[in-house]
Chain A
Amino acid sequence: MAKAKKESAPKTVEVKYDDGTVVTVDPSKKGKLSKRESTGYAFIIPYVIAFCVFSVYPVFKTLYLSFTQYKGGIGIEPQWVGLAKYDLTIHDPLFWKSLVNTVRIWGVNIVLQLGLAFLLTIVFIDIKYKVKGLAVYRAIYYLPNIIAATSIAFMFSSLLDPNYGTFNQILTEIRNLWVVIYNHIPFIHDIMHESGGVTVRMFDYMRPHAVRTEWLGSSKYCASTIGVIQAWMWFGNSFIMLMAGVMGISSDYYEASSIDGAGRWKQFTKITLPLLKPIMLYVGVTSLIGGLQMFDLPQIMIAKTTASYMSIRTVIMYLYQFGFGQNKDVGRAAAIAYVLFFIILIFSLMQFIAMRSEED
């Protein structure tokens, strides 16, 4: 944003910055940093150093390790094995199973997360409902995001315990209430029997009975359960993104469309939704990147000895086993990391292209 003022035979050039400062630059000293520039660079040096040490170096070191056989140890150097670890990973059924597990959890999560965020966005932008205190709601919805995953894991482990968890207790009470209604109100009883089939079979065993669903211990439910918890954690974040996107849409579009006779639904589908696509793409891609790297919740909530463990083990949990477990194989853990990186890259590109082609 600098404007250069050239004189007829300049030995030096005056550069005027937006803040009003004027700096004299000598073009003959090309390549040398001005005082102002060097100050700027000095400011970013700490970040650049940290970025190189903690991000760039590990990325390349991991790439190198993925081509080696290395278990750690004093004086033990990694042995170059070429693509062997990638070959092993790609032909490993448990790697693919863990990827499917991860995608299943993410699938449940993203549908609920975006669905809920959209629903709330519609409610908050619709003038009909006139919801006040958006900032308060936004803060409340965002709260789960700032709670540590370990705390969330502990809380939900307690709530979902099959025997004494609050969730099953509520289901038990609802079920018992329904049993009372079914047995004591002839009208309901008759309707249920007339409808026949499934409903009758469901309530054939009509006596108070405790619900003991294994939300985390059974392969049938655990992926969905974790997905729902993830959605609860992240919907507030998506909601804020979508609201920011909506706020950025010019009111001119809505006014013009109202004049043309468009209703609220038409405005939402023809104006809001298309203009929100970049935000949706951003939310989708970041959720995918985060989702495929899921680790903390399932690792804390599902013990290795639980029957559902194999149905919940995510790619990063699988990687962790080789990186830090009993059968340590750092090369393989690194190869899994890179295979996952390429899978995320492909998914992200596909998502990006799909959104772009729709826009075109």
Chain B
Amino acid sequence: MRIKKLLALSLAGIMAAGLVGCTGGNDSKSGSNSKVDKDTLVVWTLAKDLETFGKHYEEKTGKKVKVTVIEPADYPTKVATALDGGDKSVDIIVGEPQMLKNFYEAGYFADLDALGAKDYEGKIVDYVWKVGQSDDGVQRAISYQITPAGFYYRRDIAKEVFGTEDPAEVGKLFESYDKILETAETLKKAGYKIFASDAETSYFSGDEPWVVDGKLNVSQARKDYMDLCIKLYQNDYTAFAAQWAAPWLQGMSGEIPQLTADTMWGVGEEGDVWDADKFAEATKDLPKTQVFAYGLPAWGVLTMKDNVGETSGKWGVCSGPASGFGGGTFIGISELSTKKEAAWDFVKFCTLDPETADWWIETSQGDTVSLIEALNKHAEDENAIYGGQKLYKFWLEQAEKIDYSKVTQYDTIIGDAWGAAISAIKTGEKDKDAAIEEFYTAVSSAYPDLVIEK
């Protein structure tokens, strides 16, 4: 009996200890960072870049950094769960623009002004500096890169069809949605496709904020953008190559099979668009076409670099119908970090150090940094893939046109709902009125406090 009682009590004890362990998030030694010594900086990131930055920081300073890369889809939940639970073990957290406003509101990012960020005002491209500020104007995060969007186009096709390859002249072919449709028609007649997919225009959609003074703003520009997407799809102006699928990447190096709305996700049993070899085999007998342009932010340079193949040197970059940007990793300090000074040193090293900026330009082979001093230093650098175009100068000009006040915290959900409506209309799933009505319902359900005037 005594043994049984002892056994029962020890089981109870183990269970109780387990429960204490489960709720021990406040302890800095808990969780996945328990084996990290007290001087090591703990970084939670969704971009693998920071692993490279971390190693470089260790080499340069001799300080220790532990970088954990978390899947972007899981990142906001992971950060929220840890910090709401009082986890002090994380020092550096990051965010992409669409998640930053919620992170600021939740108080996850520490005040960088208190650590001296104000001294660096004007050294970083303006829109990036503002993205890193909470509504009260306090600096909370800084990015090492800028991500303005542009159209990457084939100079040889531009010369052949439009008689010019000059970025300024080609930019005029994309200056409005109507002009894009005109250009698409001309290219179709010449046997080319204007874009790889109809998603190429997404960075240039509706140049107005989604919400103005608490009211949903479905501007004419938004409606025009919807019409543009529908026409691009329904008139077969694009190559129906789904973004990031094999034909989409292959289009950067030249000819790709001519796909349709029915075959855009695969051709035959073996022709899965996500498997380049199988796709090539399944589509070898299909007629071929070439893609004129891709719409991507500045980081598209890195994607193009790996995929242009024999078309290297035949590319150019020009501006689009609106000034948009996409992505960018913003680095900040966890409000609960006990090593804020050390963490600030890491943030400064990654974002505000001219030597690091130079190193990153070389290491990444073309990423566009946000430090103005570095951009000016490299302004005259010519990029061979783009026929010697001075890309750093171009991206800086594009970034200066970005008006960050047009970005709202509602953008992701409202933008997704608008995208779903466009998708439903272009594929014939719903008629325009029904799809737009569903959009209004989705927005009012997600944000009941917004005023919606149809």
Among A75, A76, A161, A310, which residue has its beta carbon within 8 angstroms of that of B438? A310
Q: Which of A75, A163, A321: most chain B CB closer than 10 A?
A: A163
In Å, the complex CA distance between A42 and B265 comes to 60
In Å, the complex CA distance between A94 and B443 comes to 10
In Å, the complex CA distance between A18 and B80 comes to 54
In Å, the complex CA distance between A53 and B447 comes to 33
| Any B CB within 8 A of the CB of A257 | no
| Any B CB within 8 A of the CB of A154 | no
| Any B CB within 8 A of the CB of A164 | yes
Least distance between A233 CB and chain B CB atoms (Å): 25
Least distance between B272 CB and chain A CB atoms (Å): 6
Among B8, B108, B412, which residue has its beta carbon within 8 angstroms of that of A45? B8
Least distance between A57 CB and chain B CB atoms (Å): 11
- Given A39-B8, A163-B263, A164-B270, answer yes or no on A74-B107 (Cβ-Cβ < 8 Å): yes
Stretch from B56-64, B128-136, B312-320, B422-430 at the A interface = B422-430
* B423:A73 contact, CB within 8 angstroms: no
Q: Which of B12, B77, B107: most chain A CB closer than 10 A?
A: B12
* A35:B105 contact, CB within 8 angstroms: no
In Å, the complex CA distance between A325 and B412 comes to 10
| Any A CB within 8 A of the CB of B35 | no
Among A71, A212, A309, which residue has its beta carbon within 8 angstroms of that of B262? A212
Interface residues of A in 287-307 (CB under 8 A from B): 304-305, 307
When distances are taken between beta carbons in the complex, the residues of chain A under 8 Å from B445 are 92-95
When distances are taken between beta carbons in the complex, the residues of chain A under 8 Å from B412 are 326
What 0/1 pattern do residues 1 to 16 of B give for CB contact below 8 A with A?
A: 1001100110110111
| Any A CB within 8 A of the CB of B19 | yes
* A74:B108 contact, CB within 8 angstroms: yes
* A74:B266 contact, CB within 8 angstroms: no
| Any B CB within 8 A of the CB of A205 | no
* A50:B19 contact, CB within 8 angstroms: yes
When distances are taken between beta carbons in the complex, the residues of chain B under 8 Å from A74 are 83-84, 106-108, 335-336
* A327:B19 contact, CB within 8 angstroms: no
- Given A38-B5, A74-B106, answer yes or no on A326-B98 (Cβ-Cβ < 8 Å): yes
- Given A75-B107, A326-B98, answer yes or no on A42-B12 (Cβ-Cβ < 8 Å): yes
* A53:B107 contact, CB within 8 angstroms: no
* B265:A163 contact, CB within 8 angstroms: yes
| Any B CB within 8 A of the CB of A11 | no
When distances are taken between beta carbons in the complex, the residues of chain A under 8 Å from B83 are 74
| Any A CB within 8 A of the CB of B327 | no
Least distance between A110 CB and chain B CB atoms (Å): 28
* A310:B271 contact, CB within 8 angstroms: no
| Any A CB within 8 A of the CB of B137 | no
Smallest CB gap from B6: residue in A: A42
| Any B CB within 8 A of the CB of A162 | yes
* A307:B420 contact, CB within 8 angstroms: yes
On chain B, which size bracket covers the interface? 35 or more
| Any B CB within 8 A of the CB of A36 | yes
- Given A162-B265, A163-B265, A164-B269, answer yes or no on A49-B5 (Cβ-Cβ < 8 Å): no
| Any B CB within 8 A of the CB of A80 | no
User: How many residues of chain A have a CB within 8 Å of chain B?
Assistant: 41
* A327:B447 contact, CB within 8 angstroms: yes
* A71:B272 contact, CB within 8 angstroms: no
- Given A49-B12, A49-B16, answer yes or no on A94-B441 (Cβ-Cβ < 8 Å): yes
In Å, the complex CA distance between A49 and B14 comes to 11
When distances are taken between beta carbons in the complex, the residues of chain A under 8 Å from B84 are 72-74
Among A49, A73, A219, A325, which residue has its beta carbon within 8 angstroms of that of B106? A73
Interface residues of B in 67-102 (CB under 8 A from A): 76-77, 80, 83-84, 98-99, 102
| Any A CB within 8 A of the CB of B301 | no
In Å, the complex CA distance between A38 and B335 comes to 47
How many residue pairs bridge A and B at CB < 8 Å?
111
* A164:B423 contact, CB within 8 angstroms: no
In Å, the complex CA distance between A73 and B86 comes to 10
* B106:A39 contact, CB within 8 angstroms: no
| Any A CB within 8 A of the CB of B214 | no
In Å, the complex CA distance between A146 and B427 comes to 38
What 0/1 pattern do residues 36 to 79 of A give for CB contact below 8 A with B?
A: 10110011011001100100000000000000000111111000
Least distance between B266 CB and chain A CB atoms (Å): 4
Among B102, B266, B269, B419, which residue has its beta carbon within 8 angstroms of that of A305? B419
* A39:B1 contact, CB within 8 angstroms: yes
Interface residues of B in 400-446 (CB under 8 A from A): 410, 412-413, 416, 419-420, 423-424, 427, 429, 438, 441-442, 445-446
Q: Which of A42, A95, A218: most chain B CB closer than 10 A?
A: A42
Q: Which of A162, A321, A327: most chain B CB closer than 10 A?
A: A327
In Å, the complex CA distance between A72 and B77 comes to 11
* B420:A310 contact, CB within 8 angstroms: yes
Least distance between B321 CB and chain A CB atoms (Å): 23
* A72:B80 contact, CB within 8 angstroms: yes
| Any A CB within 8 A of the CB of B211 | no
| Any B CB within 8 A of the CB of A88 | yes
- Given A35-B1, A36-B1, answer yes or no on A307-B265 (Cβ-Cβ < 8 Å): no
In Å, the complex CA distance between A174 and B441 comes to 42
| Any B CB within 8 A of the CB of A169 | yes
Least distance between B357 CB and chain A CB atoms (Å): 31
In Å, the complex CA distance between A201 and B246 comes to 39
When distances are taken between beta carbons in the complex, the residues of chain B under 8 Å from A327 are 410, 413, 446-447
| Any A CB within 8 A of the CB of B448 | yes
When distances are taken between beta carbons in the complex, the residues of chain A under 8 Å from B441 are 93-94
When distances are taken between beta carbons in the complex, the residues of chain A under 8 Å from B76 are 324, 326
* B12:A169 contact, CB within 8 angstroms: no
In Å, the complex CA distance between A304 and B423 comes to 12
When distances are taken between beta carbons in the complex, the residues of chain A under 8 Å from B42 are none
| Any B CB within 8 A of the CB of A328 | yes
When distances are taken between beta carbons in the complex, the residues of chain A under 8 Å from B80 are 72, 324, 328
When distances are taken between beta carbons in the complex, the residues of chain A under 8 Å from B99 are 326
* B1:A71 contact, CB within 8 angstroms: no
In Å, the complex CA distance between A94 and B442 comes to 7
In Å, the complex CA distance between A164 and B110 comes to 50
When distances are taken between beta carbons in the complex, the residues of chain B under 8 Å from A307 are 420, 423-424, 427, 429
When distances are taken between beta carbons in the complex, the residues of chain A under 8 Å from B19 are 49-50, 53
Q: Which residues of B contact A (CB under 8 A)?
A: 1, 4-5, 8-9, 11-12, 14-16, 19, 76-77, 80, 83-84, 98-99, 102, 105-108, 262-263, 265-272, 335-336, 410, 412-413, 416, 419-420, 423-424, 427, 429, 438, 441-442, 445-448
For this complex, 10 residue pairs linking A to B, each with C-beta atoms less than 8 Å apart, are: A73-B107, A93-B441, A94-B445, A161-B265, A162-B265, A163-B263, A304-B420, A307-B427, A321-B446, A327-B447
Given contacts A73-B106, A74-B336, A93-B445, 15 further A-B contacts (CB under 8 A): A39-B4, A39-B8, A42-B9, A46-B11, A72-B84, A73-B107, A162-B265, A163-B266, A163-B268, A218-B429, A305-B416, A307-B424, A310-B420, A324-B77, A324-B80
Q: Which residues of A contact B (CB under 8 A)?
A: 35-36, 38-39, 42-43, 45-46, 49-50, 53, 71-76, 88, 92-95, 161-164, 169, 212, 218-219, 304-305, 307, 309-310, 321, 324-328
